[in-house]
């Protein structure tokens, strides 16, 4: 069995998430590589990759909240909602200050509805919305519920030199949000609340749950030492098993558990089980009096 665990990757702008992960296949000599949450081509920042059996844990990573920084450009709209997309609308110059922007942000905090961008990976009858857009097909995406826990202005920005439209104001913002939030759509909607059009640049994912970009590694710096044990990424309690207890868990059978378990997270009450050497071997569900394995993630004996 090859190494199993997580790798924290710092994806550069201009590289697809798929290509950024490709060095992992060579380093760990496996094709079993996955990741939690794709970043757009022009976006950069944190990606959590799973190696070998730990790919089964990725849905628990992906469900965590995300924190982004980004630059909002006011004054024009593009087909991709990014600064260099095909120009759709060019608005008139308006005088919008940081305080004007702050005044509309409260309506975007909390539980809201959001329509995803047409250029997205959302599938319509099995076809990606982005592919339909490239084909010139007409379609409509429905709004989806999202949660924005924090949204604030962190400074003023400038428009990139290769912008396809003219921005009369640019601001840097930070957003802490739920899974499924599109920053491009958020910029579009904030601009509309200000009576104009909006695009985005410099999207950076800073955090996934409690995992920070500062702990991530650039693709060119990846090595076998970059892999982390699953408990370094997911906050589940660890139950240390004896050699005798590990055998049935490895085989998919539950075991009696009389000890206390602290900090279990409802509704599933998930915990990691480790063997005598401290290796995480299984994700389990704790019930009073017993430990039930969900799936095995340890190495082969």
* Identified catalytic residue from 40, 131, 189, 231: 40
**How many Cα neighbours within 13 Å face the side chain of 81?**
25
Instruction: Please give the Cα distance from 270 to 20 (Å, whole number).
Output: 31
Instruction: Please give the Cα distance from 182 to 81 (Å, whole number).
Output: 11
CB 176 within 8 A of CB 65: yes
**Is residue 221 annotated as part of the catalytic site, yes or no?**
no
Report helix, strand or coil for 170: strand
Residue 13 structure tokens? 């702008």
Instruction: Please give the Cα distance from 35 to 25 (Å, whole number).
Output: 13
Residue 229 structure tokens? 């044990």
Report helix, strand or coil for 249: helix
Instruction: Please give the Cα distance from 114 to 186 (Å, whole number).
Output: 8
Instruction: Please give the Cα distance from 14 to 17 (Å, whole number).
Output: 10
Per-residue DSSP letter, 55: G
Residues belonging to the active site: 40
């Amino acid at each position: 069995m090859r190494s199993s665990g997580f790798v924290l990757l710092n994806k550069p702008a201009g590289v697809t998430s798929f290509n950024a992960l490709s060095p992992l296949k060579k380093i760990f000599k496996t094709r079993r590589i996955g990741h939690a949450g794709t970043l757009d081509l022009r976006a950069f920042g944190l990606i959590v990759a799973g190696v070998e059996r730990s790919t089964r844990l990725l849905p628990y990573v992906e469900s965590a909240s995300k924190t982004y920084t980004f630059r909002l450009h006011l004054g024009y709209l593009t087909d991709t909602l990014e600064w260099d997309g095909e120009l759709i609308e060019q608005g008139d110059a308006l005088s919008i200050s940081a305080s004007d922007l702050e005044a509309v942000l409260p309506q975007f905090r909390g539980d809201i509805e959001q329509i995803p961008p047409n250029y997205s990976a959302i599938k319509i009858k099995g076809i990606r919305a982005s592919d339909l857009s490239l084909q010139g097909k007409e379609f409509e995406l429905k709004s989806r519920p999202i949660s924005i826990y924090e949204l604030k202005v962190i400074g003023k920005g400038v428009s990139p030199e290769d912008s396809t439209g003219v921005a009369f104001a640019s601001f840097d913002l930070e957003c802490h949000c739920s899974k499924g939030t599109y920053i491009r759509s958020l910029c579009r909607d904030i601009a509309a609340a200000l009576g104009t059009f909006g695009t985005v640049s410099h999207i950076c994912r800073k955090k996934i749950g409690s995992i920070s970009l500062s702990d991530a590694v650039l693709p060119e710096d990846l090595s076998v030492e970059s892999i982390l044990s699953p408990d370094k990424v997911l906050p589940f309690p660890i139950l240390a098993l004896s050699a005798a207890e590990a055998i049935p868990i490895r085989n998919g059978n539950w075991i009696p558990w009389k000890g206390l378990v602290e900090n279990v997270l409802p509704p599933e009450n998930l915990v990691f089980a480790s063997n005598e050497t401290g290796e995480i071997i299984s994700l389990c569900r704790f019930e009073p009096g017993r430990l039930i394995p969900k799936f095995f993630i340890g190495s082969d004996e």
